[in-house]
Amino acid sequence: MAYNPTEFLDYFNIDDLLTDEHKLIRKSIRDFVKKEISPNIEKWAQDAYFPSDIVKKFGDVGAFGPTIPEQYGGGGLDYISYGLIMQEIERGDSGMRSTASVQGSLVMYPIYAYGSEEQRNKYLPKLASGEWLGCFGLTEPDFGSNPGGMLTNIKDMGDHYLLNGAKMWISNSPECQVAVVWAKNEQGRIKGVIVERGMEGFTTPEIHNKWSLRASCTGELVFNNVKVPKENLLPNVDGLRGPLGCLDSARFGIAWGAIGAAIDCYESALKYSLERIQFDKPIGAFQLTQKKLAEMLTEITKAQLMVWRLGVLKNEGKATTQQISMAKRNSVDMALHIAREARQIHGGMGITGEYPIMRHMMNLESVITYEGTHDIHLLITGADVTGIQAFK
């Protein structure tokens, strides 16, 4: 198996498990990333710049809501296709993948799964095409891992709801036209409401000075007596299972996406190790470098097999929250470790924007925390195997 610098080494012939359609979708997104993201991403990240025009381009290439039925503007694809799309976008950048996965899994999915037919027809086509960008309001300044403690609330005022509160660390918020927001009603039950840009009292201040996901826009959602029409309530869900169901979909995408970041780091490290000469030979000839590369490839392959199996289970409607949780934690932890090892192989060059390593590493420091921290995901597995919840 000779190294091919233009194609990731498929060590266990995992492509044999994919359909021709899967491979075609992967190639189309890979080509898109190489054309639209890779040539620009280092400058975007250095400048902390979110390229707003990428939203429409994502819509054009089918990256938004690929599993949503075609009648609502989605792709009508299976979950392995969705995973491959996320993998290829995150090979480009985790922030770019965050933009796409929030739109598909955290905005379009709840509107499709929990919304009315009127809501689906009103919002999904515009979100799918990239005409509108959406965001997901769950995390609050004082409630992250414990979303059930949220303070954001809605009150029934007869002909509308009155929404008050604030959300924090919200991807896409500064640029969003629509937000799916989770709030407690007077009875303390968590409900989902669709909030639109322009509603009086709704603001989206941007968060600055991030060292991570610098090409993704992140902000707050602030609600000061926002009047939300009754028809904007998501009618088909009640309680925490609403937002947690969305997170299952998003975590599934992250489990695939983080592998893309790991692949990009591995490929860069392998190529560099064959070109960098020290002591009269490539550093790839040294035992410790080969050890790093061999372990990287092993861990990537293991993660690929896990998410492929998870995709099969998801397609069959059998994937559990706990399985998705394990895959998300494993993939991101693996990718972060590979980024650090790849940085070592690149030596001093690894900290520069000449190579993608430090950008991936910094991005993954967010990915390992958002949508369930590394430790919380470990405790979800722990609770599943012991029957005892350690975080309550």
Catalytic residue list = 371
How many C-beta atoms surround the C-beta of residue 210 within 10 A? 16
Structure token pair of residue 126: 């515009």
Reduced to 3 states (helix: H, G, I; strand: E, B; else coil), residue 181 is: strand
Torsion angle of alpha carbons 384, 336, 97, 194, nearest 10°?
Answer: 40
What is the Cα–Cα distance from 311 to 309, expressed in whole angstroms? Answer: 5
Per the listing, tokens 């941007």 go with 206
Reduced to 3 states (helix: H, G, I; strand: E, B; else coil), residue 146 is: coil
Per the listing, tokens 């195997």 go with 385
Structure token pair of residue 300: 């990537």
Angle between helices 241-275 and 321-346 (to 10 degrees): 20
Closest CA to 84 of 141, 146, 32, 45: 32
Strands (E), 75-142: 134-137
Torsion angle of alpha carbons 93, 8, 275, 295, nearest 10°?
Answer: 90
Burial, 382: exposed, middle or buried (Cβ in 10 Å; 0-12, 13-18, 19+)?
A: middle
Are 64 and 108 in contact by the 8 Å Cβ rule? The answer is yes
What is the Cα–Cα distance from 261 to 366, expressed in whole angstroms? Answer: 13
Angle between helices 241-275 and 79-92 (to 10 degrees): 50
Closest CA to 307 of 365, 263, 275: 263
